[in-house]
Amino acid sequence: MMLRLSIALLLIVAAGSLPAQSPEFAVDVMSVLSKAGCNLGTCHGNLNGKGGLKLSLRGQSPRDDFRSLVEEARGRRVNVLAPDASLILQKATGAAAHRGGIRFDADSQEYRVIKDWLQQGAPAPSPDAAHVVQLDVTPPEAVVAAPQTDLQLKVIAQLSDGTSRDVTDRACYELSNLIAEISPGGRVTRLAQGETTLIVRYLNMQVPVSIAFIDARPEFVWDAPPINNSIDRFVWDKLKRLRINPSPLCDDNVFIRRAYLDAIGRAPTATEAQQFANDTRSDKRRRLIDELLSRTEFADYWALKWADVLRTEEKVLDVNGVEIFHGWIRDAIASGRPWTEFVSDLVTGVGSTYDQPAANYYRANRDPATRGETTARLFLGTRLQCAKCHNHPFDHWTQSDYYQWSSLFSQLDYELGENKRKDKLDKNEFVGEQVVLVSKQAEVKNPTTGKIAPPKFLGGPTLDEKARKDRLKSVADWLTTEDNELFAQSQVNFIWYHLMGIGLVDPIDDFRLTNPASNPPLMRYLADHFVQQNFDLRAVVREIMNSQTYQLSALPNATNSHDQTSYSHAIVRRLPAEVLLDLQSDVLDDPAAFDGYPKGIRATQIPGVQKRRKRDARLQLGDRFLKTFGKPERILACDCERSNETTLKQVFMLIGEGLNQRLASRSNRIARLAASDLSGAEIADELYWTALTRPPSDAERQRAAQLIDNASDRRTAVEDLAWALLNAKEFLFRR
């Protein structure tokens, strides 16, 4: 009590001896703390603070920060009678020991703002003071062509009282990559060619600015490539602005292989590839796409993608639950159900996990926080987990948003039967039926306030009493409405990523203001198309695959070799584990073996991760291959868990025991070709068309014929040729 009285008396004395006009804490002082980096997560904005001082992350709570600076620590951080002696100035300028180092100089504008505030008696944030309502950045986007190397930004804050102020020197700047550097005064300087997103932040406002640094290219002439659909129009518009010409279309052999791999997860047979190559119809690519989308393998392959992120694995769901859940996912895709119905069934899925397949969604997500995070990630493309402990550092979601959204999923419980698990050492395994119930449970509380978090849609309204009675249906209806832009955009982004190799928003589950789409008009178009086509998955796949953009060659030209985000050429990427193994099986005409599954099942058809898990038991060759080549364990509801990277262990499996064992089989294609009357050239033709979807070149055919026709051991020679093709980059990578 005496401490507060003493501070109050000091404030009265100081206020009476100085002019009435003073800096406003919530605007002026907070902007200095942000600019100096005091409230970042690496400093006092850390969850536990630093050096005894805790500030709100990035200045999200001025009132809490005022209390920390002025009222806590016995008020020793401020000295309104001798402002220069205040610890907040002494430490920031290095006059007192400070582990954070010098943040600004004693003759700087930042020092003057805080000193003026102290001289005015360090007044608290005023509820009537003007606050920032809008942040305008000029230019909002820019293309900087050499020889120009830098760009000066101007940042204007619009205040609630109708005034504005230039805050270019006070704003904070963050670049998304290292192709440029930014000065404290808002000057962006090129370090390398490419695109970057600059986040301009001032107090509670953030604005993204897209900047591209390009070569001068005074001789550049736009090639004016043809346009198949609106996708091309939006992509070409951006490429033309960046002075980039797209690569030419890929040839027919590359296209048919790419289309098969992307649509149905397998390569065409030699017969299918040759028929396509000999087809002279001008619309044969469109016809092929329509045919692929109608094949049963389309549902197999796209069910695999969704089984990954829906955590369809045996330890939590058990083998029976996995097969039921996967079958339901596949049937929804095969029947062409509107995606809104599919998602609605997932979000409202309750009942027996054996009788109601969608209930397995909540069997894998056991608590309100996990359910909320997973639903936001999968169906809104939003990562919420950072807001669990504090307001999101890179997005506008608050801790209150996190717990209010989690509250929507709080009223669920589980009726458990007998756990018949085989591995008594694994407490995560549950074998047996479970029933997901809607049941009155304790409401979610915000741990910071200790108060119940009322259920509220993410970025939407709080539920009224009627809607709270069936929270899951309310969530499903809100998620899948045509007006929910995030839902449509996140779903088409998922499709775009799997066809193009990189999302329009990348990572695909990280939609936020500070991570904008690489081509916003294209994103809006695809989302609108999805809605107009009644949320039809195939309609979006068809639109993308029919575009010139999708059909471009992977070979770069002189203008686009540095481009990785504007889709000026196809992105080369390693094939997924399941696809690669199935391709090996097709070339060898010998299916891989998987523990617990009948001979002949394709890797892309396997419902779960591993049907039988035994300690100290050697895996079947097929299971080992999938594990080695990055098939996810499905522990996370995120496509990021799958790895398409190359590793040394993969090399050993391709050059050693794994592939050699399959090549040596006595009943495969290699054995039949070696025992046939075909010449070496004819054998080469069959293997090249089957493995690489193209004929061998004259030189390749000649060398293969010499290898086989002159070999003392014909079987070994054919094995060597097949081994070389199965290890070729052309076979291992989608291009």
pLDDT in tens, 585-599: 999 999 999 999 999
pLDDT reading at 397 higher than 90: no
User: What is the structure's pLDDT at 119?
Assistant: 94
pLDDT in tens, 246-266: 999 999 999 999 999 999 999
User: What is the structure's pLDDT at 8?
Assistant: 41
161-165: list long-range contacts, CB under 8 Å, 24+ apart. Answer: 161/130, 163/130
Please state, in angstroms and rounded to a whole number, the distance separating the CA atoms of residues 246 and 248: 6
Phi-psi region of 511 (alpha: psi -120 to 50; beta: other; left: phi over 0): beta
pLDDT reading at 426 higher than 80: no
Mean confidence (pLDDT) of the chain: 92
What is the rounded end-to-end Cα distance, in angstroms, of the chain?
73
Return the sign of the alpha-carbon dihedral for residues 333, 334, 340, 346: negative
pLDDT band at residue 638 using 50, 70 and 90 as cut-offs: very high
**Beta bridge partners of residue 146, listed in sequence order:** none
Distance of CA 410 to the CA centre of its chain: 26
What is the SS3 string spanning 376-435? HHHHHCCCCHHHCCCCCCCCCCCHHHHHHHHHCCCCEEEEECCCCCCCCCCCCCCCCCEE
Phi-psi region of 681 (alpha: psi -120 to 50; beta: other; left: phi over 0): alpha
pLDDT band at residue 9 using 50, 70 and 90 as cut-offs: very low
Burial 243-276 (b: 16+ CB within 10 A, else e): bbbbbebbebbbbbbbbbbbbbbbbbebebbbeb
Mean pLDDT value of segment 692-699? 97
Return the sign of the alpha-carbon dihedral for residues 572, 644, 601, 715: positive
DSSP letter for 26, please.
I
Task: Show the tokens assigned to 646.
Answer: 């190359």
pLDDT band at residue 1 using 50, 70 and 90 as cut-offs: very low
**Cβ neighbours of 437 (radius 10 Å):** 15
Please state, in angstroms and rounded to a whole number, the distance separating the CA atoms of residues 206 and 134: 9
pLDDT band at residue 661 using 50, 70 and 90 as cut-offs: confident
Mean pLDDT value of segment 728-734? 96
User: What is the structure's pLDDT at 345?
Assistant: 98
pLDDT in tens, 508-519: 999 988 889 999
Task: Show the tokens assigned to 447.
Answer: 């741990």
Most distant CA pair in the chain, distance: 108
pLDDT reading at 20 higher than 90: no
pLDDT band at residue 628 using 50, 70 and 90 as cut-offs: very high
What percent of the chain shows pLDDT beyond 90?
A: 79
pLDDT in tens, 281-303: 999 999 999 999 999 999 999 99
User: What is the structure's pLDDT at 422?
Assistant: 76
Compute φ and ψ for 185, nearest 5 degrees.
-95, 10
pLDDT in tens, 526-575: 999 999 999 999 999 999 999 999 999 999 999 999 898 999 999 999 99
pLDDT band at residue 2 using 50, 70 and 90 as cut-offs: very low
3-state secondary structure of 488: helix
User: What is the structure's pLDDT at 21?
Assistant: 53
pLDDT in tens, 105-160: 999 999 999 999 999 999 999 988 899 999 999 999 999 999 999 999 999 999 99
pLDDT band at residue 11 using 50, 70 and 90 as cut-offs: very low
Q: What is the DSSP string of 154-211?
A: EEEEEETTS-EEE-TTTSEEEESSSSEEE-TTSEEEESSSEEEEEEEEETTEEEEEEE
What residue ranges define each of the domains in the chain, with the CATH number in brackets?
27-120 (no CATH), 132-214 (2.60.40.10), 338-475 (no CATH), 661-734 (no CATH)
Mean pLDDT value of segment 38-57? 86
pLDDT reading at 12 higher than 80: no
User: What is the structure's pLDDT at 616?
Assistant: 54
User: What is the structure's pLDDT at 17?
Assistant: 35
| Residues written for the chain | 735
Interacting residues of 481 by C-beta distance below 8 A, sequence separation 6+: 487
Please state, in angstroms and rounded to a whole number, the distance separating the CA atoms of residues 257 and 671: 26
